[in-house]
Amino acid sequence: MNNFLDPAILFFIFGVLAGFAKSNLEIPQPIARFLSLYLLMALGLKGGFALYESGVTTEVITSLGGAIFMAILVPSIGYLILSQKLKKLDAAAVAATYGSISAVTFITASQSLDELGIHYGGHMAAAMALMESPAIIFAIIVASKIRSQQQTHDVARPSLGKIFHESFTDGGQLLLLGSMIIGIISGDVAHEVLAPFSIDLFKGILSFFLLDMGLHAARNISELKNKPAICFYYAILGPVSHAIIALILAKLLGLELGNAILLMVLSSSASYIAVPAVLRQSLPEVSPALYMGMSLGLTFSLNIIFGIPLYTYLAQQWI
């Protein structure tokens, strides 16, 4: 219930309602981009400051290993399921989208944990960055194999080297990691100086950004019209299944509560920025409406409103 009283979540719901009402309310793209970069920078700094205090521990190494494992497992399972009902290239694109992560979902979850007083490691921001690329590589490899079997060479595609370079050097991802490194190096001094920027403003900026995301989510849901039923089922049930697998893994690895919740959130989220940008180049045969409608229209909305409190509750019961 508290999740529905959170102003950031209420702004997201307001944005969804405004989008469904076909309002002309809109956040200019340059401003939305700035908000996104601010959130990533602030998150990176917070993670760096936390790592400065804790250092590299067994929990840190174990959490990062679990994140990489989930980043490989989720797209693999997704492709096996989706390829039974969708075209193989479509299945590869959706699997890559769900194998990667949503930074905004993670940021919202970390803010929720802060308000609940649940401790989590700053290294989970690094885990988020590590989970971005494996799914992209998976999709490229699978698509290459499919095209080889189909002997289709008529689609102009950028080189694998270029795609790998873009997936590893995405601006948002670099800013996140760079900010984290700066936080680790500068430590307590920068923490005190930058607190008004990275902490005090965070909730207000997040609320404004979620308003924009709500508008986009409402407008992307319509893209799923006439899509196969499995798209709806997977967009709703897939994330919950991924979160439960992550919970089991977190229990086996002995992760602390906050880190377990964030691993669940990362595993259940789906990319709607970095991966789609790469897929447009590497899998031009697949309509972006398919994976954008699923990830942003359904999964993102459900995770923000219902998923985060559900995953928190499940972890509290089991960890």
Burial code (b: 16+ CB inside 10 Å, e: under 16) for 124-149 equals bbbbbbbbbbbbbbbbbebbeebbee
With bands split at pLDDT 50, 70 and 90, how would you rate the model's confidence at 265? very high
CA distance 18 to 152: 43
Q: Is the pLDDT of residue 161 over 90?
A: no
**What is the CB neighbour count within 10 angstroms for residue 82?**
24
What residue ranges define each of the domains in the chain, with the CATH number in brackets?
29-318 (1.20.1530.20)
CA distance 271 to 294: 10
Alpha carbon 257 to chain centroid distance?
Answer: 20
DSSP 201: T
pLDDT in tens, 90-119: 999 999 999 988 888 998 999 899 989 999
pLDDT in tens, 173-232: 678 778 888 888 887 777 788 888 777 788 888 888 888 888 888 888 877 788 889 999
Cα Rg, the chain, nearest whole Å? 19
**pTM, whole model, 2 decimals?**
0.82
CA 195 to each of CA 16, 110, 206: distance values in angstroms, whole numbers, following the listed order? 31, 17, 16
Who has greater pLDDT, 69 or 46? 69
CA 48 to each of CA 111, 123, 156, 294, 319: distance values in angstroms, whole numbers, following the listed order? 16, 8, 41, 33, 25
pLDDT in tens, 292-318: 889 988 999 999 999 999 999 999 999
